[in-house]
A and B are shown apart, each in its own frame.
Chain A
């Protein structure tokens, strides 16, 4: 069973700050990593995905992947109260369309 670990939080940051969300995974061979955002009572929505070591930026969001250390992180710059949600890290199993999700980190952005 592949493990995906996240700190459940809540992580509280003031408006305008950088929020840093972390995720570790157990399968060293994993190649594809995804971040989803889930508002309370809603379904997960894709924020971004990353396949290669290093950083990938999309607007205020930056995903960072370090395969040697088996962690992936998500940075949210200029955090807004509307970013308050649970952030789910997901790892896709190689050669299968099967995703393993972490339990999610709850982010609170305080005005």
Chain B
């Protein structure tokens, strides 16, 4: 079974621009979560989507948004980029038929974003 895929793998943008990242979950997985990883803050939860609905949200500003399509693929958008948005953005998928189920998450390779 293919793993979680993310595109693009690397991205360079300038301040003020916007960016869209894409994630395809493992086949059959309906939950997609997004994380930001930086050396200073570690792995921080952005949001989770399940059946095209945002089910959970972390403490990030509204510049960070996402969506999920009917095939469970997800996109994350960051508008008005800031230097501090430079990070590794990780997508993780899980089966998660119901909240609280014991299913764990499997991570994609990540998109490394550099904001200049």
Contacts and interface: CB of A to CB of B under 8 A. Distances in A.
Interface residues of B, number: 29
Contacts, number: 59
Contacts of B101: 97
A109 B83 CA distance: 35
B48 A98 contact: yes
B42 A42 contact: no
Nearest to B49: A97
A98 B54 CA distance: 12
Interface stretch (A15-23, A44-52, A77-85): A44-52
A46 B108 CA distance: 12
Interface string B30-42: 0101010000001
Nearest to B112: A41
A71 interface: no
Interface in B67-116: 88, 90, 94, 96, 99-110
Q: Which of A1, A36, A94, A97 is the most central at the interface, judged by chain B CB atoms within 10 Å of its CB?
A: A97
Interface residues of A, number: 24
A69 interface: no
Contacts of A88: 43
Given A43-B110, A95-B100, A100 B56 contact: no
Contact of B108 (A43, A97, A103): A43
15 contacts: A43-B88, A43-B90, A43-B108, A43-B110, A44-B90, A45-B107, A95-B99, A96-B100, A97-B48, A97-B94, A97-B103, A97-B105, A101-B35, A101-B44, A103-B42
